[in-house]
C-alpha cells in the first residue's frame, strides 16, 4: 500500500505545482512508482509543467464519473517509466468531484503506486477539501513572505481539524543574500510561527522558470540549484536522514572585489 501525500499551501503561486512535479520526478529517479494527481480542476497546470499536456485524453473527472477506467486516464511520463500523471479536467470546476470520490481514487491509486502525490489548488474551498480527503500526509509549501506564512498557518489549522496532523513544511524561494541582510524572513522565524517539522528549503532559482516553460522538472538537471534541494527532500520523505543544505549567499561583485583586495 503506497503513501498518499497532498502538497498544499493556501496561497497561490508559492510553488505547489512545481514542488509536486519535482518531488514526483525525484521519486521516479530513485526508481519508485509514483503518480501525480492534479486536483486543480478547471485551472490545471501540472500537465503543462510536466510537458504532458498534448497527451491528455481522459482526466480525473472522467474517472470519477465512470466515463473511462482509471488506467486509461493515467499518462505515463515521457522520461521516466515509473512516473504517471492523472490530469485534472479543464472544462469543469471543483464541484465536479466530491471528497468521497477522491478518497476512493486515492485508495485505488495507492494499491498500485509507492507514492501518490496530490497537487492541491490554492484556496480553502471545495478544491482543497477534495485534495486533502484521501491524503495520509500533507506537505505545506510556503515562501518567506508574511502573507504566504499566514495562509500556511490557516491551512495547518484546517488540516488538523480534518484529523491530518503533523504536516511537513517546505520553504520555497529562499534568497540567502536577502535573509543575510535581514530583508527576508529567515527559516527560524517561519518555523517559530508555524511550529511544524521542516522538510526542506528550496533556494530561489531562475532555472525553475526555464524548466517550467520547457515542461521538464528542474530536478532532472543536476546543475540546477533547486535540483539538489528537491532530491534531498525526496530522500527525507523516503526515510533517510539528510542534513539541511548550507545556504550560502551568492557573492556580489563588490564582495568579490573586497575578497581580492583582502578587506
Residue burial 104-122, b: 16+ Cβ < 10 Å; e: rest:
ebbeebbeebbbbbbbbbb
Pick 78 or 258: Cβ nearer other proteins: 78
Q: What are phi and psi of 58, to 5 degrees?
A: -110, 160
Instruction: Based on the shown chain and the rule CB under 8 A, indicate whether residue 236 belongs to the binding site for other proteins.
Output: no
Instruction: Based on the shown chain and the rule CB under 8 A, indicate whether residue 90 belongs to the binding site for other proteins.
Output: yes
Instruction: Based on the shown chain and the rule CB under 8 A, indicate whether residue 235 belongs to the binding site for other proteins.
Output: no
Pick 53 or 205: Cβ nearer other proteins: 53
Size of the site for other proteins (CB under 8 A): 14
Instruction: Based on the shown chain and the rule CB under 8 A, indicate whether residue 161 belongs to the binding site for other proteins.
Output: no
Distance CA 237, CA 142 (A): 18
- Where helices occur in the chain by DSSP H, the ranges are 16-29, 46-49, 60-64, 70-73, 99-112, 126-133, 146-161, 176-181, 187-194, 207-214, 225-237, 253-260
- State in Å, rounded, how far the first CA of the chain is from the last one: 59
User: Which of 118, 92, 123, 114 shows the shortest CA–CA distance to 105?
Assistant: 118
Pick 90 or 98: Cβ nearer other proteins: 90
Stretch that binds other proteins, among 29-37, 47-55, 138-146, 249-257 (CB under 8 A): 47-55
Residues 163-222 that bind other proteins (CB under 8 A): 215
- Member of 11, 16, 44, 231 binding other proteins (CB under 8 A): 44
- Member of 33, 55, 168, 177 binding other proteins (CB under 8 A): 55
Stretch that binds other proteins, among 28-36, 89-97, 135-143, 220-228 (CB under 8 A): 89-97
Instruction: Based on the shown chain and the rule CB under 8 A, indicate whether residue 259 belongs to the binding site for other proteins.
Output: no
User: DSSP letters along 170-217, please?
Assistant: EEEEE-HHHHHHTSS--HHHHHHHH-SEEEEEEE--THHHHHHHHT--
Pick 48 or 179: Cβ nearer other proteins: 48
- Member of 91, 161, 223, 241 binding other proteins (CB under 8 A): 91
State the binding string over 66-85 for other proteins (x if CB under 8 A, else -).
Answer: ------------x-------
Distance CA 164, CA 129 (A): 12
Instruction: Based on the shown chain and the rule CB under 8 A, indicate whether residue 65 belongs to the binding site for other proteins.
Output: no
Residues that bind other proteins (CB under 8 A): 42-44, 51, 53-57, 78, 90-92, 215
Amino acid at each position: 500500500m503506497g503513501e498518499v501525500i497532498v502538497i498544499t499551501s493556501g496561497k497561490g503561486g508559492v510553488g505547489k505545482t512545481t514542488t509536486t512535479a519535482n518531488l514526483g520526478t525525484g521519486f521516479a529517479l530513485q526508481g519508485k512508482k509514483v503518480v501525480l494527481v492534479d486536483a486543480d480542476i478547471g485551472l490545471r497546470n501540472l500537465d503543462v509543467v510536466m510537458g504532458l499536456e498534448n497527451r491528455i485524453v481522459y482526466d480525473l473527472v472522467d474517472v470519477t464519473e465512470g466515463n473511462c477506467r482509471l488506467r486509461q486516464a493515467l499518462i505515463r511520463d515521457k522520461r521516466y517509466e515509473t512516473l504517471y500523471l492523472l490530469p485534472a479536467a479543464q472544462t469543469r470546476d471543483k464541484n465536479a468531484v466530491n471528497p468521497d470520490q477522491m478518497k476512493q481514487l486515492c485508495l485505488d491509486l495507492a494499491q498500485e503506486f509507492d507514492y501518490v502525490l496530490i497537487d492541491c489548488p490554492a484556496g480553502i474551498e471545495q478544491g482543497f477539501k477534495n485534495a486533502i480527503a484521501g491524503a495520509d500526509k500533507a506537505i505545506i509549501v510556503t515562501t518567506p513572505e508574511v502573507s504566504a506564512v499566514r495562509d500556511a498557518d490557516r491551512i495547518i489549522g484546517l488540516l488538523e481539524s480534518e484529523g491530518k496532523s503533523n504536516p511537513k513544511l517546505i520553504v520555497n524561494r529562499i534568497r540567502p543574500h536577502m535573509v543575510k541582510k535581514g530583508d527576508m524572513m529567515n527559516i527560524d522565524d517561519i518555523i517559530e510561527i508555524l511550529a511544524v517539522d521542516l522538510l526542506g528549503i528550496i533556494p530561489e532559482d531562475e532555472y525553475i522558470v526555464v524548466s517550467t516553460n520547457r515542461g521538464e522538472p528542474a530536478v532532472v538537471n543536476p546543475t540546477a540549484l533547486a535540483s539538489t534541494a528537491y532530491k534531498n527532500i525526496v530522500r527525507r520523505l523516503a526515510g533517510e536522514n539528510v542534513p539541511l543544505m548550507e545556504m550560502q549567499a551568492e557573492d556580489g561583485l563588490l564582495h568579490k572585489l573586497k575578497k581580492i583586495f583582502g578587506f
